[in-house]
Structure 1
Amino acid sequence: MIRIAAATLFLAALGMPAHAQDAAAGEKVYVQCRACHQIGENAKNGVGPLLNGLFGRTAGTIEGYNYSDANKKSGIVWDEKVFAEYIQNPRAKIPGTKMIYAGLKDEKRIQDLIAFLKQFDKDGKKTAQ
Structure 2
Amino acid sequence: MEYEDFINAVATRAKVSTDQAATLTGVTLETLADRISAGQAEDLAYQLPDRLAGHLTRPLGGEMATAFGLDEFVRRVGDRPEIDRALAGAGVRAVLTTLREAVTRDEFENAMAQLPEEFSQVIEPVGAGGGRRRSS
Larger helix proportion, structure 1 or 2?
Answer: 2
Normalised TM-score (structure 2): 0.37
Larger Rg: 1
Normalised TM-score (structure 1): 0.39
